[in-house]
Chain A
Amino acid sequence: MNFDPRFTGRKFSSVGTRPLRPDGIDKVTGRARYGADFNMAGQLVGRVLRSPHAHAVIKSIDTSKAEKLAGVKAVITAKDLPDLTDGDAAMYDILDNSMARTKALYDGHAVAAVAAIDARIARQALKLIEVDYEVLPHVTDVDEAMNHHAPLINDAIFTEGLEEKPVKASNVTKRTQFGHGDVHKGFAQADFIVERSFKTEQTHQGYIEPHACVASVNPDGTADLWVCTQGHFVYRQHCAQLLGLEASKLRVTSSEIGGGFGGKTHVWAEPVALALSRKAGRPVKLVMTRDEVFRASGPTSATSIDVKIGATKDGTITAAEATLRYSCGPYPGSWAEIGAMTAFACYNLENVKTVGFEVLVNRPKTAAYRAPSAPMAAFAVESAVDELAHELGMNAVDFRIKNAAQEGTRASYGPVYGPIGIGPTLEAVKNHPHMKAPLKANQGRGMACGFWFNFGGQTCVDLNIGMDGSVSLAVGTVDVGGSRASLSLVAAEELGIDYSQLKAIVADTSSLGYNDMTDGSRGTFSSSMATISAARNAIKILRDRAAQMWDIPVDDVVWEKGHAIAKGEKYGNLSALSLKDIAAKSGTTGGPIAGHSELVADGAGVSFATHICDIEVDPETGATRVIRYTVVQDAGKAVHPTYVEGQYQGGAAQGIGWALNEEYIYGKDGRLQNAGFLDYRIPVCSDLPMIDTQILEIPNPNHPYGVRGVGETSIVPPLAAIANAVSNAVGVRMTHIPMSPPRILAALDAEREG
C-alpha cells in the first residue's frame, strides 16, 4: 500500500460540516429503491417452505404435486444446491442453513422452495410439497444445551479448546480464554467481592426492510443479483461458490438498505433465489415476510454469564473474572469469544480471566448484531461494577474513572492500548448536567461504559472527474449510515472543492474491485482512507495536466484549495487553474482524469462510550419509561457530525428496546411464539425521549484525519446503563434482560418475599 495513513492533525474545511444528505430526498419521497423495488420482465415469485419442527430428520421430500400445479415454474430442494464447498466448513454451514440437507435444525429452517407466476400459486405449491419428518428431541435454552443429557444437535462436533481432547460429541463447540495475571491472588487481596449470574434473551436486529432480492441466471452462465445487503462483494463470493458460478460473471448490485446492523452480512435466501432462477430459466424475486425474518434470518445470541469482581477499600479492582455462554444457533460460531474479549476492555486490570463457551441450540443461525456479543458482556460486567461501587460506598462514575484503562494499559484481551477515549468519556459524563438533574419518586439513574474494536479491511474507490469539473465517487462499501455524504466530504476536503460538486454512488461488483462488507464500523474508516488515496492520485494527474497547459515542469506545480498553482516568482504571470479549468482541457492533455485506490485499511482505532439513563418504573405494573438518555462517545473524528449523532442515537434506541422489551419466546414445542412486530416489540418514537449526544474526538493515529468508526459502540452500554437505572429505581438488582414488566414485578415480589 503506497499510502501513508498516519494522522497529521491538519485543519479542515469540509470535514466536520453538516451538509444535506445526498439520499435524503429520494428516501422521504419514496423514490429510493430498496431490495423489493427491483423488477424484471418475466419475473417469477419465489417462496420458501420452512420446517415447523425445531429438530427433525428429513426422511423424504415429494415435490411432484407442486411441480404439476399450473403456473409453477420450478421447485427446488437441497438436491438442487449440491455441496460445492470443498471442505470449507463455514460455507457448508451457510449452504445447509440456506436449504436443509438432511435435518431441519430449527423452526423456520428452509426445506424446499418454489418459483411461480404469482404469489398465490407459489403459496398453493408450498402446500402441495410433502415432507416426511422424523421429529427429534430439541433444545433451545443455552444453559440446558450445555447439560450432558441435552439432545445432541450435531454428533460430529467435539469441543475445541479443551486441554484434553474430548471423546464425546457435545453441543459446546468451542472454549476460549483470555486474560492475564492471577485472579486467585487478586481476589485474595480484595476487601469486597461481587459475584452474580446474568441472562440475556435472544433479540433480532429489527431492521425494517426484510431480506429481498431479484435473481436472474442466464443459460450462458452469467447471472445478476439485485439485493439488499451490507456487502454485495461478499454476497457475490458466497453465491458464486454455492452455485458453482464464476464470480466475475455474477454481477451483484446492492439496493438502498432499510437497516442491516450485522443481519445482512451473509447470505440467507439469495442462493435459493439464484437456484430457482437457474432451474426456471426466468428471473425470480424472493422477499422474506416478517415472520420469516424472525424465524429464519440471523438474530443475536441468548446468553448466560457469571461475573466476579473484587476490589480493595480504596476502590482499586484487584481481580475480575467472567464465564460467558453464548448460543450460536445450530452451527458453530465465535460469539462467546468476542464477548470474552470485550467484557473487561474498559478497565485497567492486573488480574483478569474470561472464558467463553459457544453453544449449539435449535434456534436460527446466530448472526452479527451491531458490536456483536459486546452488549451482553457489558451488561453483566457493568452491572457488577455498579454493585461493587455501591458496596464500597463510592460514586459509580468515580469508581470507573479510578479503574479505567488508558494509553499503555494492557487490555483484558491482550495487547497494550494506544491513545483511547474511555477516560475522557467518563470525565465528560461526570461533568454532564444530566448527572446532576434531580430525580422524582420511582425514578432511577444508571450509567455504564462500553467498548468495541472497530476494524478496516479490503477497500477500493474510483474517483472520476468529468469534463465540466464535477466529480463522481464510486465506492464499494454499502452506505448503511451516511457514508456517501461523509466520503463526499472527504473527497471535497482533499480536492479543495465544494461538496456540491461531488456525487458518490455505491458501485456494483462488476464496476469496481473487491470490497469487504460494511461491518465492524468500517464503512467510513476504510473508504475514507481509499478516498483520500484516490483523490491524491487524481491530484497528481491534475498537476501534470496543468503543467502541460502551462508548458512548465510538473514539479513546479502545487495543488492548493482546488487549484493548480505554479510556484516561484518566474511564474508570477500565470493565473491559478481551477479543477474545472483543467478538466475542460482534459481531452487534449491526455484524456479522462481519474484517481483510483485499492488498499487494505488496517489500524482501526478502538472506541469507547459512556451512557447515562434515567428511567421511571411503575411499581404496581412493572412498566418502565425512559425519561432521559445521554450518549458520550469518542468518534476519533466526526466527518459528518449529524450522521455520527444519528449513529449514537440509533444504537441507544436499539439498546433500549433490547433492555426493556425485545426477546425471542419459544414454546415447549421449540417453535417461535412471537414472530412479528406486534408480539416482538421494538421501541417506536413515542417510547423514546430525545437522546442527547456528545461527540468526543480523540484522534486515531492510524488514519490521516483521525477517524475511528462510530456505528457499533453506541449499542454496547445501553443494556447495562438501563439495568443500573432500573435497579436503582426499584432497589433490586436486575439480572435478566429484557427487563419486561413481568420480570420487574417478579423481581420485586421475590425481594418482598425475601
Chain B
Amino acid sequence: MVEVTLWGSLSAVAGGKARHDIEAKDIRELFRKLAEQYPGIEPWIDRGIAVAIDGTIYRDTWSKELPPGAEIFLLPRLAGG
C-alpha cells in the first residue's frame, strides 16, 4: 500500500481528495487502479502525468517500482523549451 498525493486540479476528478491509499507495486499499476476507481482520471493519464517518487520525477518509466513508505506525488507532464 502506498499513499499517493494528487495535485490540486487532479484531485478534483478523484472525488475531491488529494490523498489516496492505493495497493500498487509500480507506476503502471498505480495508474490502472486510479483509473478503475476514478474513470475521470483516464483522459489525464492519456495526456500525461508525471510521478515524483521521493522527489525524483518519472515521466515515462511506468515499470518504476513504488517502494513502501515512499512519498508519491502526481504532477502534470511538463513541456520544455
Do B9 and A413 touch across chains, with their CB atoms under 8 A apart? no
In the complex, the chain B residue whose C-beta lies closest to that of A712 is: B81
Most buried by A among B12, B55, B80: B80
Pick the contact of B56: A1, A161, A372, A603 (CB < 8 A): A603
Total number of A residues with any Cβ neighbor in B under 8 Å:
50
Contact B78 A1 (CB under 8 A): no
Name the distance in Å between A344's Cβ and chain B's nearest Cβ.
14
- Contacts of B47 on A, CB cut-off 8 Å? 90
In the assembled complex, B60 has its CB within 8 A of some CB on chain A = yes
The segment out of A31-39, A486-494, A517-525 that lies at the interface is A517-525
Bound-state CA distance A440–B21 (Å) is 60
Q: How many A-B residue pairs have CB under 8 A?
A: 108
Flag whether B61 is at the interface (Cβ < 8 A). Answer: yes
Q: Does B59 contact A (CB under 8 A)?
A: yes
Residue of B54, B58, B75, B81 near A413 (CB, 8 A) is: B75
Closest chain-A Cβ to B14's Cβ sits at a distance in Å of 13
Q: Decide if B57 touches A453 in the complex (CB within 8 Å).
A: yes
The reply to whether A262 and B80 contact each other, CB–CB distance below 8 Å, is yes
CB of B15 to closest CB in A, whole Å: 13
Interface string of B43-56 (1 = CB under 8 A from A): 00001000010111
A553 at the interface (CB under 8 A from B): no
Contact B60 A600 (CB under 8 A): yes
* B7 contacts chain A at the CB level, 8 A cutoff: yes
Q: Is the CB of A176 within 8 A of B80?
A: no
Q: Does A706 contact B (CB under 8 A)?
A: no
Q: Are B12 and A338 in contact (CB under 8 A)?
A: no
From the candidates A90, A176, A265, A372, name the one contacting B9 in the complex (CB within 8 A). Answer: A176
Whether B79 and A418, one on each chain, are in contact in the complex, defined by CB atoms closer than 8 angstroms, is: no
Interface of A is mostly: loop
How far does the alpha carbon of A415 sit from the alpha carbon of B56 in the complex, in Å? 8
Chain A residues whose CB sits within 8 angstroms of the CB of B8 once the complex forms: 176-179
Which candidate, A65-73, A244-252, A454-462, is the interface stretch facing chain B?
Answer: A454-462
Question: In angstroms, how far is the closest chain A Cβ from the Cβ of B45?
Answer: 15
Is A368 an interface residue, CB under 8 A from the partner? yes
- What are the residues of chain B within 8 A of A457 when measuring CB–CB? 59-60
Once bound together, how far apart are the Cα atoms of A81 and B55, in whole Å? 44
Per the bound structure, the CA–CA distance linking A417 and B54 in Å amounts to 8
A150 to B2: give the CA distance in the assembly, Å. 46
**Given known contacts A341-B75, A415-B71, A416-B71, A603 and B80 CB-to-CB distance under 8 angstroms:** no
Q: Are A334 and B79 in contact (CB under 8 A)?
A: yes
A635 is an interface residue with CB less than 8 A from chain B: no
Q: B80 and A415: CB pair below 8 A?
A: no
| B9 contacts A368, C-beta separation under 8 Å | no
Q: Given contacts A161-B9, A416-B71, is CB(A519)–CB(B61) below 8 Å?
A: no
A589 at the A/B interface (Cβ < 8 Å)?
no
* 9 A-B pairs (CB sep. < 8 Å): A1-B61, A176-B7, A337-B76, A453-B78, A455-B59, A603-B57, A603-B58, A702-B56, A711-B81
Q: A161-B9, A415-B52, A712-B80 are in contact. List 11 more A-B contacts (CB 8 A).
A: A178-B8, A205-B81, A263-B81, A341-B76, A413-B7, A414-B7, A416-B55, A455-B59, A519-B79, A602-B64, A604-B57
B→A interface (CB under 8 Å):
5, 7-9, 12, 47, 52, 54-61, 64, 71, 73, 75-76, 78-81
